[in-house]
């Protein structure tokens, strides 16, 4: 397995603060408390993204530089704020379109959107809205079902089938940040976009 390093670059609250376009970028999106930070840490084997017990802590887009042990095939992970957390103040959620939508719609170096859903939770309307919006923007995206280790084999099959059906998807990749299930497969998907090895 290729060893990778992660380095925090910056937090951006406006398009003017985004990193200068260069290497390909992979954006991670999902509802608050879906396990984005845990997945990012599992992908690189380091605790770089802060895992909070309180959903909705991420306010900005956090950018991380990723490199392998030879410092080649560098790319950027973009950790976007979670959506759908009711206790987020309206003043914060009202500012999201000012920097999130331009990033997702216009960022030339954005190669893949990794959209997270919880394998244990029924889909929400805002999940479907996100996927429909990404399709309308002609953005490549992959749906990942987190926390798959919490389900038995039969439960996992049933839940994934229900998510596919209700979200109108052909494929969902089950992963577990805790056990590492699905992490190599996710890296393979990232690599196919031209952003990996």
Output the CA–CA distances (angstroms, integers) from residue 184 to 53, 83, 170, 181, in the order listed.
26, 27, 20, 8
Whether 99 shows a pLDDT value over 90: the answer reads no
Please tell me the pTM assigned to this model: 0.85
Predicted local confidence at residue 73, as pLDDT: 58
Predicted local confidence at residue 50, as pLDDT: 54
The answer to whether the beta carbons of residues 31 and 47 sit under 8 Å apart is no
* pLDDT tens by residue, 21-70: 889 999 999 887 888 888 988 988 766 555 444 444 557 889 998 887 66
Give, for 111, the enclosing helix (H) or strand (E).
strand 110-118
* CATH node for 5-194: 3.40.50.300
44 Cβ contact list (under 8 Å, min separation 6): 4, 5, 6, 66
152: which 2 tokens?
């038995």
Predicted local confidence at residue 146, as pLDDT: 93
DSSP 148: G
* pLDDT tens by residue, 101-132: 889 989 999 999 999 999 988 887 778 888 88
32 Cβ contact list (under 8 Å, min separation 6): 55, 56, 81, 82, 83, 84, 85, 88
Round the average pLDDT of the chain to a whole number and report it. 82
Q: Is the dihedral of CA 73, 41, 182, 161 positive or negative?
A: negative
């Amino acid at each position: 397995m290729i060893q990778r390093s992660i380095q925090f670059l910056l937090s951006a609250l406006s398009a003017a603060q985004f990193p200068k376009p260069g290497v390909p970028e992979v954006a991670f999106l999902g509802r608050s408390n879906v396990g984005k930070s845990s997945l990012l840490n599992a992908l690189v084997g380091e605790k770089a993204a802060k895992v909070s017990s309180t959903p909705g802590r991420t306010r900005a887009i956090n950018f991380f530089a990723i490199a392998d042990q030879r410092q080649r095939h560098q790319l950027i992970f973009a950790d976007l704020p979670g959506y759908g957390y009711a206790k987020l103040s309206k003043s914060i959620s009202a500012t999201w379109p000012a920097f999130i939508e331009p990033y997702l719609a216009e960022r030339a170096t954005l190669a893949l959107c990794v959209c997270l859903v919880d394998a244990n939770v029924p889909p929400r309307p805002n999940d479907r809205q996100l996927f429909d919006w990404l399709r309308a923007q002609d953005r490549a995206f992959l749906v990942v079902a987190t926390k798959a280790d919490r389900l038995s084999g039969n439960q996992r099959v049933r839940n994934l089938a229900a998510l596919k059906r209700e979200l109108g998807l052909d494929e969902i990749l089950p992963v577990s940040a805790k056990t590492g299930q699905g992490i190599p497969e996710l890296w393979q998907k990232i690599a196919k976009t031209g952003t990996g090895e």
